[in-house]
A and B are shown apart, each in its own frame.
Chain A
Amino acid sequence: MPSRTVVVGSASGLHARPAALFVSAAAAQPVRVTIRTGDGPAVPAGSILSVLALGAKRGTEVTLEADGEGAEAALDVLADLLVRDLDQEPASSTETAGTGA
């Protein structure tokens, strides 16, 4: 299955605003994407509760997985969001990213 393993880049980790942006983007993808830390269970990337519960901090390595048509493109968009420091970016640039465009 196509996957991407990246390191969380946001200062606050995958929490608060970065988590909300990531989950919105994941939910907007045409394929179902999962996320996990290390060997932990894969949870739906479009579920804010599941993503928060990962407790991923800045520097935590996370793995995204998706299958089907559009999976590679979806993973690229989401992996890019994860590595950026979304806490540092002005709202306008992250909102564009959040639509998954």
Chain B
Amino acid sequence: MPELTGVPVSPGWAAGPAYRLTEPPPLPAPRPVTDPEAELARAAAALRAVADDLMRRSEASSDRAAAEILVAQAMIVRDPVLEDSVAAEVKAGRDAAHAITAVLAAYRAGFESSGGYLAERVADLDDLRDRAVAVCTGVAMPGVPAPGVPFVLFARDLAPADTVGLDLTRVLAVVTEEGGPTSHTAILARSLGLPAVVRCPGIRDVADGTLVRVDGAVGAVSVGVDEQTVAATGAQEQARRSALAAPAGPGRTADGHPVALLANIGSARDLADPGVPVAEGVGLFRTELLYLDRTVAPSLEEQIATYAEVFRVAAGRRVVVRTLDAGADKPLPFLAQGREPNPALGVRGLRLSHRDPSMLDAQLTAIAKAAAGMDADVWVMAPMVATVDEASRFVDRCRAAGLARAGVMVEIPAAALRADALLGVVDFLSIGTNDLSQYTFAADRECGELAALLDPWQPALLDLIGACGAAGAAAGKPVGLCGEAGADPLLAPVLVGLGVTSLSMSARALPAVRAALATRTVAECRTLAAAARAAGDPAAARAAVVNG
């Protein structure tokens, strides 16, 4: 029985038949068109088949938001202008598949150059093109398989468009060949509580319907298991889930050492997530939503109202607000930034305020005004801080705005290395592991091929987290962590052992982390942390903790 391994990204056990996400078909070689009328009929029939399929899936979907997206996709395929343009291409001599591809490519280019929301819809157009080409060439349409029984989804990688159709009652677990710990697949699986393993190239050769067992905590995929294993795994997972549903409380180790468990949110709407009420507060309130898709900066009043809504819902709890984390990779129209050759290394985060601090000052003023008279414990932190001088200037601005608790994120190795000096000027640190990994390993977060470098179990990353934790303990100041690494229940005790005092994550991941912490004493956490740091690589670090 082959044992495959990949990068674990979402814990849990699942077993059942594996089915592969159907790959988009390659565009066939062009065919000469001898009968334009018949070719046009073929193209129209293909578009109709795609629209009908989307509508069928929409009607079958129990998720209202997903159903709406599918209907919107069908509207595009049924667009009379699309059919007219395809007809023109066919008359010009293109076959159905190439005519549809050419027309959608023209819209694709337009969407892409518009940027923002439209640029993100490019994947939707590609999906429609792939579906239509599949019909034209007589192969199965790409997409999520529907074998009629619960199954383990195998895929090269999952695009947002693929995951829209995921029916949770059918998918037991997700395993992909590519992708990384911060990929769309990983984030989605964690937010849905589905076991998931990424970077597992071995699944390529597994035939549809083969029984497999997935361990999302260690990244193992067993191929060709028997029915008995499937049944036992189902029971194991059910027991795990009922343990997670047990009454919540503040995060504590087995010996009662408090570790605040907080939620990451992007707006007040996220506070409606059923997982949030059990959180002890918000460890990362991303404020970008307020600024995206705007031609002018939001007004002071609008900002105050947005922040106040969050503070009101989170009354009596901590809310850590991150100031605007925009830059060349998340451009804002009203900032009029030039193109940068390396956006991730460019003017982003707090660096934007060096040129013009007015936007930062306005944001800090709005946060302070919104916090006034509210019961929430409001902390503020800046993203992309490299030096003590930057941190010190940020703290001064916070104090001037009337904000009592000012901290900085640790995303740049330079900041982690000088954590003790930073803590001399700030009230707290919050480690953003996604960016800290990217900058420590010089590995683009979006590059699936480099995912192994971005594994949060990399000993070098653990060393940097440990440096922050030790500095925090020495200074008697909090050191939180708000990257995806915090959501890994196996890693959580290690992080606590490294000196992290709070963990912030997707609300759905909180119960598993709370349960994991409750099984270890602080002394055990420290032992595990030392063992993980002593390991040579992520796999050895995990093994040391699993067996520790």
Q: Does B291 contact A (CB under 8 A)?
A: no
**Closest Cβ of chain A: how far from B298's Cβ, in Å?**
12
- One digit per residue, 1 when the CB lies within 8 angstroms of any chain B CB and 0 when it does not, for chain A 37-49 equals 0000001101111
Q: Does B111 contact A (CB under 8 A)?
A: yes
Q: Does A31 contact B (CB under 8 A)?
A: no
In the complex formed, the residue of B with least CB distance to A52 is: B118
Q: Which residues of A contact B81 (CB under 8 A)?
A: 43-44, 47, 49-50
Q: Does B68 contact A (CB under 8 A)?
A: yes
Chain A residues at the B interface, C-beta cutoff of 8 Å: 12-13, 15-17, 19-20, 23-24, 43-44, 46-50, 52-53, 55, 57, 59, 91
**Contact status B110-A53, CB under 8 Å:** yes
**Closest Cβ of chain A: how far from B43's Cβ, in Å?**
16
**Contact status A13-B75, CB under 8 Å:** no
**Contact status A49-B79, CB under 8 Å:** yes
In the complex formed, the residue of A with least CB distance to B82 is: A49
User: A20-B71, A53-B110 provided; 15 other pairs, C-beta below 8 A?
Assistant: A13-B293, A16-B117, A23-B75, A24-B75, A44-B80, A44-B81, A47-B79, A47-B81, A48-B75, A49-B81, A49-B82, A50-B79, A50-B81, A53-B114, A59-B295
Bound-state CA distance A50–B528 (Å) is 58
- One digit per residue, 1 when the CB lies within 8 angstroms of any chain A CB and 0 when it does not, for chain B 283-307 equals 0000000000101000000000000
Bound-state CA distance A44–B82 (Å) is 11
Question: Which residues between 67 and 125 of chain B lie within 8 Å of chain A, taking CB atoms?
Answer: 68, 71-72, 75-76, 79-82, 107, 110-111, 114, 117-118, 121
**Closest Cβ of chain B: how far from A52's Cβ, in Å?**
6
Q: In the complex, which of the residues A12, A46, A48, A55 contacts B76, with contact meaning CB atoms closer than 8 Å?
A: A48
Q: Which residues of A contact B64 (CB under 8 A)?
A: 91
**Closest Cβ of chain B: how far from A2's Cβ, in Å?**
22
Bound-state CA distance A23–B75 (Å) is 9
**Contact status B68-A17, CB under 8 Å:** yes
**Contact status A57-B121, CB under 8 Å:** no
**Contact status B117-A20, CB under 8 Å:** no
**Closest Cβ of chain B: how far from A48's Cβ, in Å?**
5
The answer to whether A48 and B117 touch (CB under 8 A), given A20-B72, A53-B107, A53-B110, is no
**Closest Cβ of chain B: how far from A98's Cβ, in Å?**
11
**Contact status B68-A52, CB under 8 Å:** no
In the complex formed, the residue of A with least CB distance to B78 is: A48
**Contact status B75-A12, CB under 8 Å:** no
Q: In the complex, which of the residues B68, B76, B110, B117 contacts A15, with contact meaning CB atoms closer than 8 Å?
A: B117
Q: Which residues of B contact A13 (CB under 8 A)?
A: 117, 293
**Closest Cβ of chain A: how far from B72's Cβ, in Å?**
5
Bound-state CA distance A84–B524 (Å) is 58
Q: Describe B's contact surface by its main secondary structure.
A: helix
Question: Which residues between 301 and 335 of chain B lie within 8 Å of chain A, taking CB atoms?
Answer: none
Q: Which residues of A contact B72 (CB under 8 A)?
A: 16-17, 19-20, 48
Q: Which residues of B contact A24 (CB under 8 A)?
A: 75
The 5 closest A-B pairs by CB, nearest first: A47-B81, A48-B75, A55-B114, A20-B72, A49-B79
List 26 A–B pairs whose Cβ atoms lie within 8 Å, in order of A's numbering.
A12-B117, A12-B293, A16-B72, A16-B117, A20-B72, A20-B75, A23-B75, A24-B75, A43-B81, A44-B80, A47-B81, A47-B82, A48-B72, A49-B76, A49-B79, A49-B81, A49-B82, A49-B107, A50-B81, A52-B111, A53-B107, A53-B118, A55-B118, A57-B293, A59-B295, A91-B64
Question: Which residues between 467 and 500 of chain B lie within 8 Å of chain A, taking CB atoms?
Answer: none
Question: Which residues between 37 and 65 of chain B lie within 8 Å of chain A, taking CB atoms?
Answer: 64
**Contact status A48-B79, CB under 8 Å:** yes
Q: Which residues of A contact B80 (CB under 8 A)?
A: 44, 46-47
Bound-state CA distance A46–B114 (Å) is 21
Q: Which residues of B contact A59 (CB under 8 A)?
A: 295
Bound-state CA distance A59–B302 (Å) is 15
Bound-state CA distance A17–B293 (Å) is 16
Q: Which residues of B contact A19 (CB under 8 A)?
A: 72
Q: Which residues of B contact A57 (CB under 8 A)?
A: 293, 295
Q: Which residues of A contact B293 (CB under 8 A)?
A: 12-13, 57
Q: Which residues of B contact A91 (CB under 8 A)?
A: 64
Q: Which residues of A contact B111 (CB under 8 A)?
A: 52-53
Q: Which residues of A contact B68 (CB under 8 A)?
A: 17, 20
Bound-state CA distance A19–B111 (Å) is 15
In the complex formed, the residue of A with least CB distance to B110 is: A53
In the complex formed, the residue of A with least CB distance to B121 is: A52
Q: Which residues of B contact A44 (CB under 8 A)?
A: 80-81
**Closest Cβ of chain B: how far from A7's Cβ, in Å?**
13
Bound-state CA distance A12–B68 (Å) is 15
**Closest Cβ of chain A: how far from B142's Cβ, in Å?**
21
Q: Which residues of A contact B76 (CB under 8 A)?
A: 48-49
Bound-state CA distance A51–B82 (Å) is 12
Bound-state CA distance A19–B79 (Å) is 13
Q: Which residues of B contact A23 (CB under 8 A)?
A: 75
In the complex formed, the residue of B with least CB distance to A49 is: B79
Q: Which residues of A contact B121 (CB under 8 A)?
A: 52
